[in-house]
Structure 1
């Protein structure tokens, strides 16, 4: 690998049913259908030979420049490529708009290709694959489209480009607008050109109206808008689940072995995500996600819940390795996630905290509150049973378990939330149980405090700290005006700062050795903690540094290499964008922000 900064030169489009990754050469390099967690139909990102791709390209030696941008305040992506022969533009759109009183979000990708200078020559390649590259299609040229049969599944490419050019992957002169509409399953039964133009226009209008309804002030407005749009794209509207990322197996660092499938919903992320959605005023998205979390918790038949679930709520996520070459030849591509079988006891308090909004936010109807009373009591019972049990916690150690301070903090947060829920329900028994658990979890947290260091350690008696301890400040366990909070934050800075405004999540070795990259959300937590402590100038300085780690479209990865500033890990990562939203809005809650424009 080069020491040059590694960037994912990629944008995404989607419609809350699927997400497609399009690189700066107008190649669809990653796209899973019919769901986020389905096999990739185009997997060039993980295997350039077997993965398949959908590209609109000129000969590499004739390309002079390429750039991408989003249509203003939308998830409609425009790629402009200049060649020695001329220039052309590709507009990619995953249709989404209101129709017949419902969200219209077909499994369809619209691609508009238009010349903008000279006489550019292009070559269109469409190579869908099934079962992670193991199934090659039978291809048929129909009257006005190409049909690809993938072991029982049908992909159709409708276009006004001569079908022989596409089937033969031959170059041709782009002298007028061309349209390509890729569909999964259902055929296109409308006029091609008019449909493409209408769907692009209505999708642009939809996203711009959606942004208008966001409660986003002018402070770092552009960055928060893009983060909100990214977050929205990763919600599977059918159930309300929000995935961590739409990719799998993009390594956290070259040759690290840390490459995971993130196309699922982590329950612990609920309160971070719901907080972000609530702060930007997106009630419908918040409501859908809260109801998904409630349904998961209510449907569990055992005394423990998995920390991560499929987007349809299924608890089974068996992890396997598929025969693809991997990103940049990393050789390991995982599907599924073994974290689903881990003991991660922090999730239960997070679930209660997430469900708190159902009780204290008056926008939610009051009827379901009494119905979920038993659920809250069950979750409190689970917390009581595992209160002092070692677990893998949020870092998902595969061979290590500890009595994590962060897990105890989540017990405390869940218990404090249950106290508020009990008051709303006028349930004295629940309130007594929650009060008892609050006190017990406080004792466990305090057992992690090391007076000689002035900080809360990863577990009682440990010599290590980790970035999750920032949440002691963010979640108001520590009084932000206290000397203890100030010393705690300084100790974390001294031990975890990686340079360039980045924080390591921890610095000690885990199952894969010492981590080389910085988990980006931890750095946004740091900004939020600085703001909570009133260190506004420091928070603003650190935030400005972190914004440099996006790609040219404002998209953030999971991890950053502190040495090069390179992007690594799955991309884009909703957790990073949620961290940005919460950090910016925490700062605005502390300042009269117009003076900072």
Structure 2
């Protein structure tokens, strides 16, 4: 049975997920949002499909058990397999990534290095990509040291020093020497297989460890923060600067639900939180790349209107469709490609872009600082925020048939005006600073009047409403309320009272288009922990944070959702929102380095 006890490898161009037995169960080529050539994760019990289709497995004959771990401070995964006869095999998986010729080399390639550690283990290699998201079985051609998987959609080449016939026939053989397998574009290697694989490994390991050394990490929870930071980086499509919400599509939020969405796109709201977290860690290059990505979006938004989500190349043609030939994760379909949220009205997007862009004006580490031209472009978004802050939208939870004036959306529109006032003052445009401060104050007053429920003694999720939602925990985080404002403390208490189940929080408790949510949204508990810390309930926050860390999968990763009762992870994986929450809480709660000695 599939679980989300998976490891992620990647190079900011492609990514793959590997299960505890060392099987590649998910991987898209030639980029993060591409064709799911390895789609076994979403083919749980599909009728008419052969066992093993859509995966790349290295089976140890008579296997007893396995264990798995990342090489320290890297995105390189090692899986160790043990058989009943004392045989041991070690698999090292990675996607090459390192500096070459003054640029980052990140080919659409997976490298698998397999070596015998003990005994005379026998392995069976099965390479079964399926193209057009699992629909097409490729034609197989072979050479002396390679196998080609050919289809009209694309071609992949496996180059190896293992016996090619045994791979094609999936016949077991004794692993009496190390072997290497390089799967990627249909191109010949320019050097020997073993020397190429070794060189790629050494350079990639050195690259990731150098990258980690540049991080500004907290004193406590270092391993968790480093793993979260690397995982966020894997979700960065570096070519354009886009950041995907997760590496997968259609892993359901809960069993027996149709809440199955494609998250391989860039939500401007999610991406803002990601780059904000990475900036805290000192990852300025990724932040600057993302700022270029959204600057291009802003440049194209001539009327100031933004979509909530874009393709990783700013593509707006990401209409949602269902893939009928994949049965879904554990058979819980449908499997969707594309996301219809791109046509929704989500008014918080204007604040998300302005908040992200504010870094360009105040962070002196950036090589491309904000200027008057960028400010003028952002003002168009601010004008749009003023126009829509009190208009109904789908809200941050992307309700498909229910529209309200959502408090979070209104607050983010206020944030756009507030930051524009600060930017204007910083760049010496006093008249514009006065204008934007006046508008920010006006929106703040209206929101406080219409989103505050005097009977409940709390802010509520929509103007004039009575329901709670977890985004209310962010009122202090975006500077809408001071932590000492009694309305903030009252709202945090109301959210916890209404939405907390065990150690986690629901997004909201009411019914939506698909009924009531069954699982907790992981980022919400991190928002709650941050709110507790802001309210000086620090020990309570630390205790809850430690408890939540125990719910990560064995490799330290988190998905979007969790069953608060069983602790089982659900939803798309790995989820950037969840890893962001972990980083933010650790940075806020950790003791300072000076306090530790």
- Fold similarity call, TM over 0.5: yes
Structure 1 368/592 Cα, relative in aligned 2: closer, same or farther at 3 Å?
A: closer
Per mean C-alpha deviation after superposition, the further-off stretch among 223-232 and 478-487 is 478-487
After TM superposition, the score normalised by the length of structure 2 is 0.96
Aligned partners of 2:71, 2:183: CA distance in 1, in Å? 21
From 486, 490, 512, the counterpart of 2:489: 486
- Structure 2: which 5+ residue stretches go unaligned? none
**Which residue of 2 is the match for residue 31 of structure 1?**
27
**Which residue of 2 is the match for residue 163 of structure 1?**
164
Superimposed CA distance per residue, residues 409-450 of structure 1 (whole angstroms, 9 cap, x where no aligned partner) = 101111110001111232244323322321232133211111
Note the C-alpha offset of 1:365. Answer: 4.2
Mapping for residues 557-596 of structure 1, pairs under 5 Å: 557-588=559-590, 592=592
Equivalent residue of 1:414, what SS? Answer: helix
Note the C-alpha offset of 1:463. Answer: 1.7
Per mean C-alpha deviation after superposition, the further-off stretch among 173-182 and 363-372 is 363-372
Displacement over 6 Å in runs of 4+ = none
Contact 2:90/2:117 (CA < 8 Å) preserved in 1?
yes
**Which residue of 2 is the match for residue 121 of structure 1?**
122
Per mean C-alpha deviation after superposition, the further-off stretch among 529-538 and 396-405 is 529-538
Equivalent residue of 1:131, what SS? Answer: helix
Note the C-alpha offset of 1:116. Answer: 1.1
Aligned partners of 2:548, 2:214: CA distance in 1, in Å? 27
Aligned partners of 1:232, 1:379: CA distance in 2, in Å? 28
Aligned partners of 1:594, 1:373: CA distance in 2, in Å? 39
Note the C-alpha offset of 1:293. Answer: 1.5
Contact 2:258/2:333 (CA < 8 Å) preserved in 1?
no
Superimposed CA distance per residue, residues 48-81 of structure 1 (whole angstroms, 9 cap, x where no aligned partner) = 537511110124xx22111110001100000011
**Which residue of 2 is the match for residue 255 of structure 1?**
256
Superimposed CA distance per residue, residues 283-311 of structure 1 (whole angstroms, 9 cap, x where no aligned partner) = 11111112211211212245421100000
Aligned partners of 2:507, 2:435: CA distance in 1, in Å? 33
Contact 1:270/1:351 (CA < 8 Å) preserved in 2?
no
Aligned partners of 2:387, 2:580: CA distance in 1, in Å? 31
Aligned partners of 1:231, 1:104: CA distance in 2, in Å? 19
After TM superposition, the score normalised by the length of structure 1 is 0.96
Mapping for residues 74-153 of structure 1, pairs under 5 Å: 74-85=74-85, 86-151=87-152, 153=154
Aligned partners of 1:442, 1:195: CA distance in 2, in Å? 60
Aligned partners of 1:581, 1:283: CA distance in 2, in Å? 16
**Which residue of 2 is the match for residue 456 of structure 1?**
459
Structure 1 31/366 Cα, relative in aligned 2: closer, same or farther at 3 Å?
A: closer
Structure 1 543/368 Cα, relative in aligned 2: closer, same or farther at 3 Å?
A: closer
**Which residue of 2 is the match for residue 548 of structure 1?**
550
Note the C-alpha offset of 1:9. Answer: 1.8
Aligned partners of 2:370, 2:168: CA distance in 1, in Å? 55
Aligned partners of 1:509, 1:255: CA distance in 2, in Å? 16
Equivalent residue of 1:180, what SS? Answer: strand
Note the C-alpha offset of 1:476. Answer: 2.5
**Which residue of 1 is the match for residue 279 of structure 2?**
278
Structure 1 449/593 Cα, relative in aligned 2: closer, same or farther at 3 Å?
A: farther
Contact 2:284/2:366 (CA < 8 Å) preserved in 1?
no
Contact 2:305/2:381 (CA < 8 Å) preserved in 1?
no
Aligned partners of 2:407, 2:20: CA distance in 1, in Å? 43
Aligned partners of 2:297, 2:470: CA distance in 1, in Å? 28
Mapping for residues 238-387 of structure 1, pairs under 5 Å: 238-323=239-324, 324-365=326-367, 368-387=370-389
Equivalent residue of 2:252, what SS? Answer: coil
Aligned partners of 1:259, 1:406: CA distance in 2, in Å? 24
Contact 1:318/1:337 (CA < 8 Å) preserved in 2?
yes
From 402, 405, 408, the counterpart of 2:407: 405
Equivalent residue of 1:132, what SS? Answer: helix
Contact 2:89/2:117 (CA < 8 Å) preserved in 1?
yes
Aligned partners of 2:454, 2:170: CA distance in 1, in Å? 68
**Which residue of 1 is the match for residue 516 of structure 2?**
514
Note the C-alpha offset of 1:594. Answer: 5.8
From 403, 421, 424, the counterpart of 1:422: 424
Note the C-alpha offset of 1:592. Answer: 4.6
Note the C-alpha offset of 1:539. Answer: 0.8
Aligned partners of 2:551, 2:36: CA distance in 1, in Å? 27
Note the C-alpha offset of 1:173. Answer: 1.1
Aligned partners of 1:161, 1:142: CA distance in 2, in Å? 12
Aligned partners of 2:399, 2:487: CA distance in 1, in Å? 29
Aligned partners of 1:466, 1:287: CA distance in 2, in Å? 32
Note the C-alpha offset of 1:136. Answer: 1.4
Equivalent residue of 1:430, what SS? Answer: helix
**Which residue of 2 is the match for residue 444 of structure 1?**
446
Note the C-alpha offset of 1:457. Answer: 0.4
Aligned partners of 1:302, 1:420: CA distance in 2, in Å? 23
- Structure 1: which 5+ residue stretches go unaligned? none
Contact 1:470/1:526 (CA < 8 Å) preserved in 2?
yes
Aligned partners of 2:446, 2:566: CA distance in 1, in Å? 39
Aligned partners of 1:316, 1:199: CA distance in 2, in Å? 36
Structure 1 526/536 Cα, relative in aligned 2: closer, same or farther at 3 Å?
A: same
Contact 1:405/1:444 (CA < 8 Å) preserved in 2?
no
Query: What RMSD in Å do the two structures reach over aligned CA positions?
Result: 1.6
**Which residue of 2 is the match for residue 221 of structure 1?**
222
